[in-house]
Amino acid sequence: MKIYCCRFVDAAGHVFGDETMEAKDDTAVIARAHVIFAHGIGSGYEIWDDGRLVHREARRADVARWSATA
């Protein structure tokens, strides 16, 4: 199992909190995060494996500007 960091992002793309997640691989952590954070706080989230961005998801169209910068 790998340890990932899921960071909560506001509308400006700034991180305001994080959550550690454990999963077997990138696909598993993305699926798990989508279920857990789909209705969570903030404008979106990012999943990181150390310094590597695994996935970034925005909740609203008006925050798509930071989701395209990955």
* Burial class, 70, CB count within 10 angstroms (exposed 0-12 / middle 13-18 / buried 19+): exposed
Domains in the chain: how many in total? 1
pTM of this structure:
0.76
pLDDT band with cut points at 50, 70 and 90 for residue 4: very high
Domain with 42, as residue range(s), is 2-67
Percent of the chain with pLDDT over 70: 83
**Res 63: pLDDT:** 46
Query: H or E stretch including 26?
Result: helix 26-37
pLDDT digits (tens, 9 = 90+) for 43-68: 888 999 999 999 998 876 544 455 55
Mean pLDDT of 14-21: 90
